[in-house]
Amino acid sequence: MTIARSDFGSSALNDFIVLTGGCLGPQIRTGNACDSYSCSSLTDYVEAYFPANNSYVRLPNLPRLRFRHSSEVINGLLYVIGGRDGNDQLITQIDIYNPTNNSWSTSSYTLNGWCSDFSTFVKDSQIWMVGGYYQSYEVCSGVAYFDPKTGTNFTPLSSNMVDARGDTCSVYYNNSIYVIGGFDPNNNFTAPVDTIEVYDFNTGKWSYGARLINPGGDKACGILNDRLRTFGGEGKKFNGTCYYSDPETDTEEFFFTTQSWSQEPPMDTARFRFAAEYFQNNKIYIFGGQGERDTVNDVYPTLKTAKVWADSSARTAASTTATASTGSAASLFVSATVFWRQHRYKESIQPKHHETTTAAVKKRDVKDVRILIQESARMKNLSEGWLLMEWTEEGSLFNYARCHPVSPLFFSIGRDVARGMAYVAEQKMVHTQLHAQHILLRISSGAVIAKITSFSECVKDGTKKKGNHSTTRKDLQRWSRRGNLNVLTSQAPGVIKYGMQSALSDVWSFGLILLFIVTDGTKSSSQAIYNEMILAEKLPIFKNSEMKYAQLIMGPAGAGKSTFCDTIRQHCENIKRPVHCINLDPAAEDFRYPVSIDIRELISVEEVMDELGYGPNGGLVYAIDFLLQNLPWLEDELGDYEDDYLLIDCPGQIELYSHLDLMKRLVDAIQGLG
């Protein structure tokens, strides 16, 4: 773009895209609160981007400074609506651009009683607005429309969204409204919404759709080839004290036919509060926005760059930079385009030539040189040692199952995996790490291709691990914290106990893959199977492994939790059993029992109220969330009581259980610690 900006409007008009107003300077800190950032300067600048020759042309300025607004085109006219002025006041005027005479005018109708930061779409030559923020940033749950022909002034829809939300994006498709992401007040704006809501005009009812893979507010979205695409957006990052805006790079694709999401290759630049616009050349153009926080100057810079998203017939993606052009037209696409696919430990490249995917090539990471050499050596031992493979745009079977039904693909995936494992067995090798994250998928026109990866884990049939082969519960805990529990539990019990790798152990892992498929990923090869075995004591290696036993005492205030803890403590002492009481109520004051571990040594409600100005309820919610962010503290404290019985006295505020998921997450975390 010719200027860097965020919070602006964009609309496709004739053969160009119009970019209007916005925030010109960076977002600067204006207060002591974590989220006290404001636009440093506004602009009335208007420019048109011409995709045909990759050039920008300046248009007449807006009649007024405006940002956090929207724009739509109806009957050849551009309508700019909503937003705020330099004093952060809602703008009620509707400005209209006429390309015929290249001039602006202001409608006689006004936008009274509505919001800023809403999303818009066009239906039946009407501008529809979804959600947003009122003057004092109260969240709006309404949906309304404006009819330029009749001047109908934003008549509300018969029913509002289930959840009030602002900073959302929305589209209209097949007589339904799809509202994606955003922020709501339920969590004090500390986390974006991961749900989408769907309004069906046929039934007149709202319903929830499939959840986003990566939640975000201020996402940009558009429909391309009958699929919804979302780009970037704003997440939240907690630094131990505050929640900061965290720009995202993710791209997701929503299939209307299956009502499911798929992860797409990410953008190369994290951004939020930007614009995305579908154009008639079957591409989506992405402009400007705010980038990642400059921690040195404590600002969020505005961006000048623009990108292009396109689909080929094979559903491959292309990306390029759309910059201001002078003189001859610049080519939008280079002869080969590269996309990065992020993995946990390594990256792959998708080389493309003339928008035709040829292969996936693994990027060599200096930290992974040993693994790369090991994988090359394993592949060299196979009779067909290719190091290139087809690009599998659906990603791993594990990630695919998070947003698609898998069971209909049972036969195809199972057949391909079985063929791959048979080939490995013919080479007298054992894969050792066959699980859903190492099965990559390519799906096109109903046909499925499954590929096995991570051949660096292959060993010769009959190989025995060196050293101690027994796997203790501490090993499970350590791998679980690292996110690697599925690596262990894809292996057969004999491998875990005796360390012997064989073709039979790969058969066990293959069976878990089939179970994962037929249950649509609800029973994976991670904890479900082994939890059952542990409970049934079917694995001898777990019988004598170390395990902590505890009771979590929950109930509303005054129910007698502390009395119960003290009674059980006295009973354990009478029978000579070691017992310790743990207080997880940051608002507690007095105890009838000695406290061995006290959350108030980490954080207390009184401290939160004094330092942040929260009330008692808000302070308690903040304190429990702070504990979840600092679980290593709890783990270190619990580590001193390996064999003792633990009584965990929990807070009694009902909101922690009924309205928020904090206690559920805390219980899951404690269970994960063993």
Rounding to the nearest 10 degrees, give the CA dihedral for residues 362, 365, 369, 371: -60
The band of 321, judged by pLDDT with boundaries at 50, 70 and 90, is very low
Residue 580 has pLDDT above 70, yes or no: yes
Residue 445 has pLDDT above 80, yes or no: no
pTM of the model: 0.52
Strands (E), 355-428: 356-357, 361-362, 395-396
The band of 275, judged by pLDDT with boundaries at 50, 70 and 90, is very high
Cβ(124)–Cβ(174) below 8 Å: no
Run of H or E including 622: helix 616-629
**What gap in Å lies between CA 181 and CA 169, rounded to an integer?**
7
Q: Which of 243, 244, 240 is nearest to 629 (CA)?
A: 240
In terms of pLDDT, which residue wins out, 382 or 414? 414
Cβ(248)–Cβ(270) below 8 Å: yes
In terms of pLDDT, which residue wins out, 636 or 394? 636
Q: Which CATH number fits domain 9-334: 3.30.420.40, 3.40.50.300, 3.40.50.10860, 2.120.10.80?
A: 2.120.10.80
Percent of the chain with pLDDT over 90: 24
Average pLDDT over residues 37-43: 89
Residues 177-215: tens digit of each pLDDT: 999 999 887 667 778 888 899 999 988 889 988 888 888
pLDDT of residue 47: 95
Q: Are strands 579-583 and 645-649 parallel, antiparallel or unpaired?
A: parallel
**Segment among 350-354, 377-381, 435-439 with least mean pLDDT:** 350-354
**Segment among 286-295, 478-487, 602-611 with least mean pLDDT:** 478-487
Q: What is the mean pLDDT of the chain?
A: 77
Cβ(300)–Cβ(337) below 8 Å: no
Average pLDDT over residues 135-159: 79
Average pLDDT over residues 65-82: 94
* Burial of residue 313, with CB atoms counted within 10 A of its CB: 0-12 exposed, 13-18 middle, 19 or more buried: exposed
* Cα-to-chain-centroid distance, residue 174: 26
Residue 356 has pLDDT above 80, yes or no: no
Average pLDDT over residues 588-610: 88
Residue 22 has pLDDT above 60, yes or no: yes
Residue 98 has pLDDT above 90, yes or no: yes
Show me where the domains of the chain are located.
9-334, 335-391, 393-542, 549-672
DSSP secondary structure, 543-608, as one string: TTS---EEEEE--STTSSHHHHHHHHHHHHHHTT--EEEEE--TT----SS-EEEEGGGT--HHHH
Q: Which CATH number fits domain 549-672: 3.40.50.720, 3.40.50.300, 3.90.190.20, 3.40.309.10?
A: 3.40.50.300
Residues 170-181: tens digit of each pLDDT: 999 999 999 999
- The residues, any chain, with a CB within 8 Å of residue 258's CB and separated by 6 or more, are 404, 405
Average pLDDT over residues 583-592: 87
The three-state DSSP-derived secondary structure of 93-113 is EEEEEECCCCEEEEEEEECCC
CATH number of 393-542: 1.10.510.10
Q: Which of 234, 254, 256 is nearest to 245 (CA)?
A: 234
Residue 219 has pLDDT above 70, yes or no: yes
Average pLDDT over residues 272-287: 90
Q: Which of 592, 593, 586, 664 is nearest to 626 (CA)?
A: 586
Angle between the 631-638 and 662-672 helix axes, to the nearest 10 degrees? Answer: 40
The band of 234, judged by pLDDT with boundaries at 50, 70 and 90, is very high
pLDDT of residue 113: 67
